């Protein structure tokens, strides 16, 4: 099994193999091109997003600067708005539902490094997917950690670090992020 297949399957893998390094260079080159386009170049931006992401959604907007590791593990399942300075470390899938708004300086980190220093120094890592539901709003400076799911229509307060799953229809805040109230369903 290749290191890329191991990464996709959630197994331990070596991220500095030739194939994964080539994939990261491709993604980072496309991100650089995307980040240098002027705001009026909407068609060119959509073309790059379609080439970069596993699914770019429908007319999604990502404000510069945008950074990701691979791109092909990011899926927008409808319109998604991502504000400035987002980081998607997509060693595993990052799925974002339709009509989701992501504030500035947000990070989505799927990579997991061993706690044991000897293992970490070897360069081994693994990854767990992140899933964001439909109609979610993440405030600025939110960090979402590996393996987390956030339910539909939930709101994550600015500066939160989401370390565990958040259900649908709630407001959650803090570090670690925790539910503080239920949202009334329409």
73, 95 Cβ separation under 8 angstroms: no
* Per annotation, catalytic residue among 22, 41, 113, 120: 113
Is 113 assigned a catalytic role?
yes
For the chain, list the strands marked E by DSSP.
Answer: 61-62, 66-68, 74-77, 80-82, 86-89, 94-97, 100-102, 107-109, 111-112, 126-127, 130-132, 137-138, 143-144, 149-150, 155-156, 161-162, 170-174, 177-182
Query: How far apart are the C-alpha atoms of 17 and 157, rounded to whole Å?
Result: 38
Query: Which residues 6+ apart lie within 8 Å of 62 measured at CB?
Result: 34, 45, 49, 82, 86
Query: How far apart are the C-alpha atoms of 134 and 96, rounded to whole Å?
Result: 7
Catalogue the active-site residues.
113
């Amino acid at each position: 099994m290749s290191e890329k297949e191991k990464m996709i399957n959630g197994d331990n893998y070596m991220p500095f193999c030739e194939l994964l390094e080539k994939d990261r260079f491709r993604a980072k080159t496309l991100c650089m091109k995307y980040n240098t386009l002027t705001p009026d170049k909407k068609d060119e931006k959509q073309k790059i997003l379609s080439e970069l992401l596993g699914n770019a959604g429908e007319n999604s907007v990502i404000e510069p600067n945008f950074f990701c590791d691979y791109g092909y593990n990011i899926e927008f399942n409808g319109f998604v708005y991502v504000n400035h300075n987002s980081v998607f470390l997509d060693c595993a899938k990052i799925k974002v539902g339709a009509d989701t708004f992501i504030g500035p300086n947000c990070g989505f980190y799927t990579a997991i490094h061993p706690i044991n220093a000897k293992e970490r120094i070897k360069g081994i890592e693994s990854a767990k997917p992140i899933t964001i539901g439909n109609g979610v709003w993440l405030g600025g400076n939110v960090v979402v950690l590996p393996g987390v799911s956030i339910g539909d229509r939930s709101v994550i307060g600015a500066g939160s670090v989401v370390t565990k799953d958040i259900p649908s229809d709630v407001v959650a805040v803090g570090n670690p992020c925790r539910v503080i109230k239920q949202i009334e369903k329409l």
